[in-house]
Amino acid sequence: MSTAPRTGYQDRHPLIGPARQDHLHVMTFNLRYDNSSATAVGEPDHWPERRPLMIDLLAREQPTLLGVQEALFGQLDALREALPGHSMIGYGREGGSAGEHSALLYDPSRLRIRQWDQFWLSDTPQLIGSTSWGNRITRIVVWARMEDLATGRELAMITTHLDHESEPARVRSAQALIDLLGSSALKGLPTLVTGDFNSPAHSSGAYTALVTGGPFRDTWDAAQQRLTPAWGTFPNYREPVEGGERIDWVLATEEFTVLEAAINPGADSRGRFPSDHAAVQARVALR
């Protein structure tokens, strides 16, 4: 693996850009929910001013697969504007269009959905809005079984957003992802996972369950080349900090070769950011 950052956090060139036909560009991005009723023009969290920055970042990078977090229903149109050729799956965590979405977007010219579902991270995973592991806020998982039209192979994609308060809930949620990987729907499939895990890489229970002692690899660690410094993924509208905590991850099972990885704060020339989180990207290939 080489670390050869080729861009600053205000660079306007794509870090990875559209993937060639035998590769997949995978991204996770916590958009930060639309809080316009409590923010004002000029504030970094004001969604109407963040919206074009987010559209610009996604349109520039063109991920094949994108897992988002915190997207309210009214923000989904910005995703469609940024990636007009992509399809989207996933409902709000309160059911239907209500609540935050952990939506999965994919390029249908490259990938065909064979099966997909959504469940709640609780003891009653099919009960809309359910919680039971110490988390006060509803958390969800969206998953899809897909056919790669370029190769004819099948793969799976999982996207989620773990709880920000309860470590026991995060660990139980990590085990739910492992159980999903072993389920009849996904068993044996090469699988990618995107999410805001609200857990630092290398030093949290969720990371230990999923990566250190689990079935996934951290694409940032496994990448043959890192395209950016090792910035923390929650800069909170400030300049990114090298060596900061990585709480947003792209994970992959061993069937994937990880060619490149990047952490993308997406700042414009004026130092404005599309979200309080940085997008995390990886370019992978099925072995």
Q: Residue for token digits 């809080």? A: 35
Q: Residue for token digits 């690899």? A: 217
Residue 1 pLDDT grade (very low, low, confident, very high; cuts 50, 70, 90): low
For the residues 107-127, what does the mean pLDDT come to? 98
Distances (CA, A) of 43 to 5, 54, 55, 269: 30, 16, 18, 17
Strand, coil or helix: 174: helix
Give the pLDDT confidence of 22-71 residue by residue, as tens digits: 999 999 999 999 999 999 999 999 999 999 999 999 999 999 999 999 99
Identify the DSSP state of 3. E
Residue 4 has pLDDT above 90, yes or no: no
Beta bridge partners of 249: 195
User: What are the residues whose beta carbons fall under 8 Å from the beta carbon of 96, sequence distance 6 or more?
Assistant: none
Residue 214, judged by CB atoms within 10 A of its CB (0-12, 13-18, 19+), counts as middle
Backbone angles phi, psi at 116, to 5 degrees: -155, 160
Mean pLDDT over the full length of the chain = 96
Secondary structure (DSSP) of 51-99: HHHHHHHHHHH--SEEEEESB-GGGHHHHHHHSTT-EEE--BTTSTT-S
Residue 7 pLDDT grade (very low, low, confident, very high; cuts 50, 70, 90): low
Residue 5 pLDDT grade (very low, low, confident, very high; cuts 50, 70, 90): low
pLDDT of residue 21: 85
User: What are the residues whose beta carbons fall under 8 Å from the beta carbon of 33, sequence distance 6 or more?
Assistant: 70, 71, 72, 75, 100
Give the pLDDT confidence of 63-109 residue by residue, as tens digits: 999 999 999 999 999 999 999 999 999 999 999 999 999 999 999 99
